[in-house]
Amino acid sequence: MIQLIKLHDRKLAGWLSSYIERLDSGMAERALAICTSNRVWDYHQSRSSVGANIEGIQNIFYHVSIEWPAESALPDPHRDFKSSCSCDSKKQPCVHAAALAIYRILEEDRQTFMKGTRILGNDALDARFQANWSTFVKKSSDTPPAFQQVSGNKFSLRPDLQPLMENYSRQIMAHFRASLTGKNQN
């Protein structure tokens, strides 16, 4: 079953729908799984190409690139655009290239949506935002950083491990404090 994805831009949604229809259902499912499980790394794009390292199912990385004519913002999903991948698949596009094409559309939609979203601009929203921001800044400045609140006495473990962990914690914190002051306390 193919996972549903909601896009904000209708043109991009139409393109994605046409592209996924072109793929066999198994490849479409795997490509979508790659996109939605954070397996696209080092994504970069230009006017006429995209590239990324795609993490495969067995944690192997494949270098993938897709190119299309520079005059079109989106390549025609029914016309083959040039894709290359370092995997051994003979299919064109392979699942990694399909994932990159889908990821590009998802990223384009996200960027388009973020450009069109304005939190500020309305005076009432500006005032509410400023009030919330001021409250956040005040509360965060009143609370010391978490690392300053560490105490070995606050750990709760199995009763038989508790004394050992408290001892380790005290030793680590003593060493940490000594490193801050430049004194070595063995």
- Dump pLDDT digits (tens) for 165-186: 788 888 888 888 888 776 554 5
Instruction: Looking at the structure, tell me whether residues 14 and 86 fall in a common domain.
Output: yes
Instruction: Looking at the structure, tell me whether residues 152 and 74 fall in a common domain.
Output: no
By CB atoms closer than 10 A (0-12, 13-18, 19+), residue 74 is middle
Domain boundary (116, 134, 154) is at 116
Query: pLDDT per residue over 55-81, tens digit each?
Result: 987 889 999 999 888 777 777 776 767
Instruction: Looking at the structure, tell me whether residues 18 and 102 fall in a common domain.
Output: yes
33 in a domain, yes or no? yes
pLDDT score of 65 = 94
* C-alpha torsion 64→68→71→73, nearest 10: -60
Instruction: Looking at the structure, tell me whether residues 57 and 101 fall in a common domain.
Output: yes
Contact 30, 44 (CB under 8 A): no
Measured distance CA(80)–CA(82) in Å, rounded = 7
Instruction: Looking at the structure, tell me whether residues 71 and 148 fall in a common domain.
Output: no
Instruction: Looking at the structure, tell me whether residues 50 and 132 fall in a common domain.
Output: no
21 in a domain, yes or no? yes
Domain that holds residue 165: 123-181
Query: pLDDT per residue over 109-164, tens digit each?
Result: 888 777 655 444 555 556 777 777 778 777 777 766 665 665 655 555 567 777 88
